[in-house]
Amino acid sequence: MVTLTEAESIIRNTGLEYAQKTERFLFQEAQGSELIEPIQYVLTGRQDCLHPAIISLSCEAAHGTSSNVLYVSLAMSLACHSIAIFDDILDRTDIRRFVPTVVGRFGFDKALLVAGFIAAKAFGALDLLAENVSSNTFINVSKEFQKFLSKMTFAEVANSSISKKSVLDVQARLDLLGMESMDIEASARLGAIVAGCQAREMRAITSYGHHLGKALRLREDLEGSQNLTLELDEKIRRGAIPYPTALALSRSYRSEQLLRLFIEKIGAEDERVNQLVSELFDTGAFDHARRLIEEETSKSVNALRKVGESKAKHALTVIASSQNVC
């Protein structure tokens, strides 16, 4: 059975070098400015090995040369860093995974400046790509990159709309997860574009990334839903309820009371919290989320059947298979 540790090892071994080059690339123009400290904070707290690993492995699985993915990797990593900060700014998120965000640590204004600077550097990386690949490849990469950014913008618009609703729209939250997984799909597709593979393999690798992205987001939401932390409290206060939690609440006849318990709870030993945990699990919503993860994982792995055998394909399969562990 594939474990998360195996997948994490593959991601780190494949993506670490690219992540370190991203850091050096970003520091080049930030040195000596007041942005250097928050930028260091961003990269220390969120070293991105995942997107470079998916890009590199997808390129190799499509029989391309991974040395050609450097600037694509830089652009995608920087864009994802920027999007994460903008997301925290829009949601007024001060803490994420028990750690202060850039907004929480440095304030709104500086976070906005950092997000804008990192986004600009992402397009700077794309400019450098033009000097290292054919004009056709550059055009296709640029189109895919712009498509990715547009979809992530629409996802943020949808997220804002859902958060403002007083009614639990469970299907809308599930659809939003699909939109937010575009970063993984785009990474896989960008790797295939750089490889210059045939349409059949392009479709297969794109499908792999699409379903892997959904499995990743579902697993993150499930893990967050099963841990009653301050971060989950904050999400509920903002209306950004994770899909499994929203589904559990929609199945409970006491959903309004349970929501109030989330917001009003004092500590983990509060008897009301124990009751809340029990009722949420009893709805079967978390088991349903696990089944969805299994389905998306299976679709992701099956998509690779149309790709020739290679070490890169095996690595991609391990990464996808590991998402069932939750």
pLDDT computed for residue 162 by the predictor = 79
pLDDT computed for residue 267 by the predictor = 47
Contact 192, 205 (CB under 8 A): yes
Contact 245, 289 (CB under 8 A): no
CATH number for the domain that contains residue 299:
1.10.600.10
pLDDT computed for residue 279 by the predictor = 74
pLDDT computed for residue 47 by the predictor = 87
CA-closest candidate to residue 114, choices 33, 45, 200, 195: 33
pLDDT computed for residue 33 by the predictor = 78
Spatial distance between the Cα atoms of 187 and 190, rounded to a whole number of angstroms: 5
pLDDT computed for residue 146 by the predictor = 94
Q: How many domains is the chain partitioned into structurally? A: 1
Residue 49 — φ and ψ, nearest 5°? -100, -20
pLDDT computed for residue 268 by the predictor = 47
- Residue 72 Cα to chain centre, angstroms: 17
pLDDT computed for residue 259 by the predictor = 63
Spatial distance between the Cα atoms of 268 and 246, rounded to a whole number of angstroms: 21
Spatial distance between the Cα atoms of 20 and 27, rounded to a whole number of angstroms: 11
To the question of pTM greater than 0.85 for the whole model, the response is yes
Provide the domain limits for residue 291: 4-324
Contact 84, 58 (CB under 8 A): no
Each of the 326 residues of the chain gets a pLDDT tens digit; together they read: 677 789 999 999 999 999 999 989 988 877 777 888 999 888 887 889 999 999 999 999 999 987 789 999 999 999 999 999 998 888 777 877 778 889 989 998 999 999 999 999 999 999 999 888 889 999 999 999 999 999 998 988 888 787 777 667 888 888 988 898 999 999 999 999 999 999 999 999 999 999 999 999 999 888 877 765 556 666 666 667 888 888 888 887 665 666 666 656 544 445 655 666 677 778 888 899 999 999 999 999 999 999 999 999 999 999 999 988 65
Residues 6+ apart with CB under 8 A from 119: 78, 79, 82
pLDDT computed for residue 275 by the predictor = 66
